[in-house]
Structure 1
Amino acid sequence: MGRTARYVKTDRWSVHGGTALMIAARGHAEVVRLLVKHESGMKDRYNWTPLNHAKSRNNRECMELLRGDQPF
């Protein structure tokens, strides 16, 4: 069985080259909703923002959250 983290350092980079919000933006809207308030202005090594990551997966719900179209 997998382990669940109790906290996430939102300003840290993963070994995959992105922050927790960037990884969540690829398809985990509930996680995006939790992290978007705590992480802003970050770009990865390709100069991509979390919104770019959501767009690359055509994840509309994450895109709306990252653009601020939905209430938290």
Structure 2
Amino acid sequence: MVDPIAPFLSPERLKHLQQLADAARLRAALYPSPKPPPVRRPSRQYPGGRSNPWRAPRVRRRRRR
């Protein structure tokens, strides 16, 4: 909730703050914040272009019930 306006603000200062608030609202409506870039997964190759050394495939064991 918005706090009530302090009584010690001069009318000029109050008008300036209201203009700033209106400008901020307009900017937020016209220019929505950009979405973050998607998470990049590390590639399966080494940086130099060589492929990873051969590895034995993982052994998958069946779970016993």
- Asked if Structure 1 and Structure 2 have the same fold, meaning a TM-score greater than 0.5 normalized by the shorter chain, the answer is no
Bigger helix fraction: 1
Determine which structure has more spread, i.e. the larger CA radius of gyration.
Answer: 2
Which of the five TM-score ranges fits, normalised by the shorter chain? under 0.3
TM-score (norm 1): 0.20
